[in-house]
Structure 1
Amino acid sequence: MALRQRWLKLARDTLRVKEEVCQKWWGYIEQKYSESQRHYHTLHHLEEMFQHFDQYHEKMARPELVSLAVYFHDIIYDPKASDNEERSADIFIQFVKESSVNLKEDERDKVRDWILLTKSHSVQEKAESDLQYFLDIDMAVLGRSPEGYRTYAGQIRNEYSHYPDQDYRKGRSAVLRGFTQRQRIYASEEFHKLYHDIAIQNMADEILTLQS
């Protein structure tokens, strides 16, 4: 399902947002994820997340909340900034207020908190399954095929093109080592079994490339 069609089904049909507000916010989502500084955190990233979402949505208690988190989690993305997640969460709250969306306060806060958790991507093994699936589908890229992972790594480098090679290699290697030292990268059992070992190998290979 195309992203626009999926958004309209979610916002208009499920959450009862008025048509003109749905269309306005789709335009904003499309604009933000198409910004020139983005190479990986694009509309394609959302499409890839929803491919995984579609495999597991029947196991989710509130798939509409997970969908909202997907659409808004990277809506603000400035590679030079350190508060993208906080600003993205603020935009989600702005959408809720402007659209009069049919969400209870605790549901709104839940989605906001999920967006904020993408800052650290710390594994939430004891968290509710919807949060586990959301964080896991965002990190599924680490479990791509080696060729697909190299494409992703190149896109991340392009997003951080403002860093000289030496600085980027040092910083990126440190981030990757942090993930490879975790006992779990993925929270859900399904993603852990499918992608953990592949992700570890992909990141180890990238570290070697960065050091060479």
Structure 2
Amino acid sequence: MTDSIVEKYWAQLASRHDAEAFAILDAAYREPQRAYHAWNHIIDMLTKLDQLTSLATRPDLIAAATFWHDAVYLTREPNGHPRSDPENVRDSVLLFEKHARFDPMERAAIHDIIMATSNHMKAKAKKEHYPGFSRDLDLFLDLDLSSLAVAWPVFEKNLEDIRFEFQWAPEQDFYLGRTRMLESFLGGGEKLFRLPETRALWLAAAQENLKRAKSDLREKMAFSA
């Protein structure tokens, strides 16, 4: 991976990881079962972080969490049993901790930022690791959901990529699961994005996409029933 934004932020973080860390990440985000949860998602988040660094207290720690938050991503176990997002998040944190060389405060902060992705809508800082940590956690979560506000053709492609990652799932089950997720995001209202600055940037477009996607999925469910 040689994308310039990846190089920029990894240069700030490399000394706080072991020598194997980047190779581990590169292999993870190139795994064949991935489509959405791959390097392009990480690049998109880092690019937006770079544009919004004035909102962050520790952009370096947000970047570190960005690199590691989807380091483990499987939609089912080898035995075919579905795998939950919290399981992936937990294992991503464990992989980060194996290769991290941050000081204890930074390590704990990154741990908590990554763990927040287990439940985007309800997550909140349990400890203020440094002044401004809660806001950094909120910014990270907003960056992770910012893809909800992309242009509709890109949004559709993202849905297709997620379907690829769940290609083993029956259509009706997948459509129902996606519909429930879209409804949970819509149910958050203005709280879908946590910061006023990111809300102003992304909320309107995200809500429009979510409503359109929900309608499309309901049509597909009716057609395939």
TM-score (norm 2): 0.83
Q: Is 202-211 or 118-127 further displaced after alignment?
A: 118-127
Residue 188 of structure 1 aligns with an amino acid whose one-letter code is L
2:158 & 2:10 partners in 1: Cα distance?
Answer: 29
1:180 is aligned, of 173, 179, 186, to 186
Relative distance call for 1:7 and 1:208 in structure 2 (3 A) is same
| CA displacement 1:37-71 (0-9 Å, x = unmatched) | 10000011111001100111133111111111000
Matched residue, 1:140: 146
Matched residue, 2:29: 33
1:17 & 1:135 partners in 2: Cα distance?
Answer: 23
Matched, 1:208 2:212: no
Deviation of 1:125 (Å):
8.0
| CA displacement 1:170-189 (0-9 Å, x = unmatched) | 11101111110112111111
Q: Could you say what secondary structure the match of 1:128 adopts?
A: helix
Relative distance call for 1:8 and 1:143 in structure 2 (3 A) is closer
Matched, 1:151 2:157: yes
Matched, 1:90 2:89: no
Relative distance call for 1:57 and 1:2 in structure 2 (3 A) is same
Gaps of 5+ in 1: none
Q: Could you say what secondary structure the match of 2:52 adopts?
A: helix
Deviation of 1:4 (Å):
4.9
Gaps of 5+ in 2: 77-82, 126-132, 220-225
1:17 & 1:64 partners in 2: Cα distance?
Answer: 11
TM-score (norm 1): 0.88
Q: Could you say what secondary structure the match of 1:119 adopts?
A: helix
Q: CA RMSD in A?
A: 1.9
Instruction: Give runs of aligned pairs for residues 35-184 of structure 1, distance below 5 A.
Output: 35-80=31-76, 81-82=83-84, 83-96=87-100, 101-103=101-103, 105-122=104-121, 128-183=134-189, 184=191
Deviation of 1:3 (Å):
5.0
| CA displacement 1:3-29 (0-9 Å, x = unmatched) | 5523541224xxx348xx34x211111
Q: Could you say what secondary structure the match of 2:119 adopts?
A: coil
**Identity across the alignment (%):** 24
2:176 & 2:115 partners in 1: Cα distance?
Answer: 26
| CA displacement 1:105-154 (0-9 Å, x = unmatched) | 22211111111111111266887221111111111000001111111111
Q: Could you say what secondary structure the match of 1:38 adopts?
A: coil
2:36 & 2:150 partners in 1: Cα distance?
Answer: 14
Deviation of 1:190 (Å):
1.3
